[in-house]
Structure 1
Amino acid sequence: MEAFLVSTGIVALAEIGDKTQLLAFVLATQFRRPLPIVGGIFVATIVNHFCAAAVGTWLTDLLGPNALRWILGLGFIAMAAWIMVPDEIDEDDAPASRYGVFTATLIAFFLAEMGDKTQIATVALAARFDALIPVVVGTTLGMMLANVPAVYLGKRAATAVNLKVVHGIAAVIFVVLGVATLMGAGTAVGL
């Protein structure tokens, strides 16, 4: 349950103001059909985060507990710094509508999530907790919590939230996870 809750919270916070959330705004503006956009985001996130979590689980098996503890601890602290860097998206990054709304969203979101903060966080969370399904479900829920309002409320949702405060909270959580991991917390994977 801890893996699910931490994954949901950290990704929901990390996604606010992220380039994929900005993409959700662009898609909502371009297509004005929220249901297929939300469906495309959901499918793209499930597939992308399942692959990312599989890599994280594989790393747990590949690396020894001591090396994994240091990599994850320092990685979480690096994520705290990275999350404070604002993302941007070009209007040109929005997919062409020739694919249909769902398919265009699925492709654009899947590609935009490659190497993104939340994908890297998913790898780290899966390695940290060694719990593929709870992490995938949690990170997917976190993505949906941040992106569904973006699709339905558009830019109004973005201006109602202080991004610096949200990113600061997420950065603190990443630092706490990093320090706790470095100090040996996380007996589930023997860290």
Structure 2
Amino acid sequence: MESFLVSTGVVALAEIGDKTQLLAFILAARFRKPVPILLGILAATILNHALAGAVGAAVSAFLGPDVLRWLLGLAFLAMAGWVLIPDSDDGLKTHGGAMGAFGAALVSFFMAEMGDKTQIATVALAARFEALTAVIAGTTLGMMLANAPAVLLGERAAHRIPVRLVHGLAALMFTALGVLTLLGVGAGLYGA
């Protein structure tokens, strides 16, 4: 349960103000069809985070416990810094054309998540907790918690969220995970 809750919280906080949340606003404004957009986001997230989780599980199985502990600890600390860098919608495009709202959300979200901080976080969380299903479910729920309001409420909600505060909280969570990992707290979770 810890892996699910940590994964949900970390991704939900990291996703506030992220480029994919901006993409959710763009899709909502363009198509004005929240259900297909949300289903496209969900499908893209499950696929993307399942791939990321599989990479994390493979990394966990391949590396020794000490190397993994240091790699994950440093990765979480790097994520803490990365989450503080604001995203913009520069170059953000909605793909999908003739595929409609669902297709545009599916393709755009999948592509936008490639190499994104939440995908990297999913790799690290899957390696850290070795609970692939719980991590994927948690990161997917976190993604939906952050992006569903963007789709449903649009621009009105965007200006009411204290993005800097939320990013600060996400950075604190990543920092805590990094420090705890480097100290070996919960070492049994990743084989150390």
* Aligned twin of 1:188: 189
d(CA) in 1 for partners of 2:132 and 2:101? Answer: 30
1:151 equivalent to 2:128? Answer: no
- SS of equivalent residue, structure 1 residue 157: helix
d(CA) in 1 for partners of 2:92 and 2:128? Answer: 36
Conserved in 1, the CA contact under 8 Å of 2:79 and 2:121? yes
1:44 equivalent to 2:9? Answer: no
d(CA) in 2 for partners of 1:155 and 1:97? Answer: 23
Q: CA deviation at 1:168?
A: 0.2
d(CA) in 2 for partners of 1:138 and 1:7? Answer: 5
Provide the aligned C-alpha RMSD in A.
1.0
Q: Which moved more, 1:131-140 or 1:95-104?
A: 95-104
d(CA) in 1 for partners of 2:120 and 2:175? Answer: 15
Task: Give, as a single letter, the amino acid of the residue that structure 1 aligns with 2:19.
Answer: K
- SS of equivalent residue, structure 1 residue 35: helix
d(CA) in 2 for partners of 1:91 and 1:30? Answer: 16
1:100 equivalent to 2:87? Answer: no
Conserved in 1, the CA contact under 8 Å of 2:96 and 2:107? no
d(CA) in 1 for partners of 2:39 and 2:67? Answer: 38
* Aligned twin of 1:114: 114
d(CA) in 1 for partners of 2:6 and 2:21? Answer: 20
Conserved in 2, the CA contact under 8 Å of 1:129 and 1:188? yes
Task: Give, as a single letter, the amino acid of the residue that structure 2 aligns with 1:42.
Answer: L
TM-score, scaled to structure 1: 0.97
* Aligned twin of 2:173: 173
- 1:15-74 CA-to-partner distances (Å, cap 9, x unmatched) read 000001110000000110000000000000000000000000000000000000000000
Correspondences of 1:50-129 after superposition (within 5 Å): 50-90=50-90, 93-129=93-129
Conserved in 2, the CA contact under 8 Å of 1:27 and 1:94? yes
Q: CA deviation at 1:92?
A: 5.5
Q: CA deviation at 1:172?
A: 0.4
List gaps (5 residues or longer) in structure 2.
none
- SS of equivalent residue, structure 1 residue 141: helix
Q: Which moved more, 1:90-99 or 1:37-46?
A: 90-99
Conserved in 2, the CA contact under 8 Å of 1:18 and 1:87? yes
Task: Give, as a single letter, the amino acid of the residue that structure 1 aligns with 2:190.
Answer: V
Q: CA deviation at 1:185?
A: 1.3
d(CA) in 1 for partners of 2:57 and 2:7? Answer: 14
Conserved in 2, the CA contact under 8 Å of 1:20 and 1:113? yes
d(CA) in 1 for partners of 2:92 and 2:134? Answer: 35
Q: CA deviation at 1:99?
A: 1.8
List gaps (5 residues or longer) in structure 1.
none
Task: Give, as a single letter, the amino acid of the residue that structure 1 aligns with 2:78.
Answer: A
Conserved in 2, the CA contact under 8 Å of 1:7 and 1:139? yes
| Inter-CA distance 91–34: structure 2 relative to 1 (3 Å threshold) | farther
Instruction: Indicate the percent of aligned positions where both proteins have the same amino acid.
Output: 61
